[in-house]
Structure 1
């Protein structure tokens, strides 16, 4: 038979069943509104679960994970560019129990790397990046995240993005606003994009949608993917 009867039954599921979708069936280029709705619901539930698990980790565990990630990041960037010195690298100001790499960013500034932080200028618009140094003046940005107040905008060669979750195909689960995907789509040339997070945050798939952009690499305390 052909037509509507060919559609698999039961995939228009509530979020608690979305993880049972066979990835071999799932079409990442699909624009079916029911599928998109179910994926959005699943992502919301999965995001809440992963954030709660991360927040429950002792600070010492998150600190150790960050320390183990740093040499993996350095090795990956050197393998791609030959050196870190002279590059422009964007990272993040940690919120919601995200891994804290600020002491490494301070070290990079001292080694000749231009470090930048993302800035939201308008809702639902691509991010811009402003240069950051340990002594630059910071103000409160969107969602009360500190941002550089007066430094020049830069375009990163390397951009690091914190992940709430991630999959082996390189797709990241973020906070749901789509800012990072919009930014990567808008930047030309596109920076080398690295998702950074915990190994325990890996999921089988995030069920990527047409707007999702895969990272060039994912780095956890266990190493790069």
Structure 2
């Protein structure tokens, strides 16, 4: 068994904590098994992993972070060209970088200039799906939830056809470890038709599993600075 201090539940005395499961058989976990004790263990494990992964990415040097952002922009530009013809005339939801996330704002401006409708997600109601407002380089941003800059209330509301999802952690199966608020999962469940969702994260943030729960929705594609790391269209 692992001596990793982050696997705190593995030494807790529980009969079947999820952290043991991945070491015995990574694919054993039944996402439809709704066991309250197991769900609590998974929630605690995810919380610890978020803390660890966010601390690791905050330690990345500024120059390295900039290089990672540039590599991700190049990979994302290629995906948009290959799969969406550059996405001209489409609605593309990005994100405003916080807490050490890769900075893709140069690409947002580039896409706007190329005729793509760029949007940003907004938390308008707690514990509800996100909404999306149009962004341009000239948009005067306001402070939204968690003090994240967002387009103002009078910015047009749009529905994304392509959406980026910032990753705290990720798996090869396309699952995302986010910040724990559940907003993105609620949004994907509510949007009809569902947008093509691309996870954006650091290659070092790969996890063997997140122990998927019934509400977890795998992403269509995951990109890191190393390129395409999970692609459901080619699996």
* TM-score normalised by the chain length of structure 2: 0.87
Shift of 1:18: 7.1
Shift of 1:21: 5.9
SS in 2 for 1:86: coil
The number of residues matched between the two structures is 215
Q: 2:188 aligns with which of 181, 184, 187?
A: 184
Which residue does the alignment assign to 2:214?
A: 210
1:196 aligns with 2:196: no
Which residue does the alignment assign to 1:5?
A: none
Q: 2:109 aligns with which of 100, 106, 110?
A: 106
SS in 1 for 2:65: helix
Calculate the aligned-residue CA RMSD, in Å. Answer: 1.5
SS in 1 for 2:119: strand
Which residue does the alignment assign to 1:128?
A: 131
1:142-172 CA-partner distances (Å, limit 9, x unpaired): 1111110021100111000110000000001
Q: Distance in 1 between matches of 2:196 and 2:17?
A: 36
1:157 aligns with 2:161: yes
Which residue does the alignment assign to 1:145?
A: 148
Which residue does the alignment assign to 2:16?
A: 11
Q: Distance in 2 between matches of 1:70 and 1:146?
A: 21
Q: Distance in 2 between matches of 1:55 and 1:198?
A: 11
SS in 1 for 2:53: helix
Shift of 1:78: 2.5
1:92-140 CA-partner distances (Å, limit 9, x unpaired): 1111011111111011111111100000011100000000011112111
Q: Structure 2 unaligned segments of length 5 or more: list them.
A: 1-13, 231-235
1:32 aligns with 2:21: no
1:51-62 correspondence runs (5 A): 51-62=54-65
Shift of 1:35: 1.0
Q: Are the counterparts in 2 of residues 131 and 151 from structure 1 also a CA contact under 8 Å?
A: yes
Which residue does the alignment assign to 2:85?
A: 82
Q: Distance in 1 between matches of 2:161 and 2:77?
A: 14
Q: Distance in 2 between matches of 1:83 and 1:61?
A: 27
Which residue does the alignment assign to 1:175?
A: 179
Q: Are the counterparts in 2 of residues 18 and 39 from structure 1 also a CA contact under 8 Å?
A: no
Q: Structure 1 unaligned segments of length 5 or more: list them.
A: 1-8
Shift of 1:12: 3.4
* TM-score normalised by the chain length of structure 1: 0.91
Q: Distance in 2 between matches of 1:81 and 1:135?
A: 25
Which residue does the alignment assign to 1:92?
A: 95
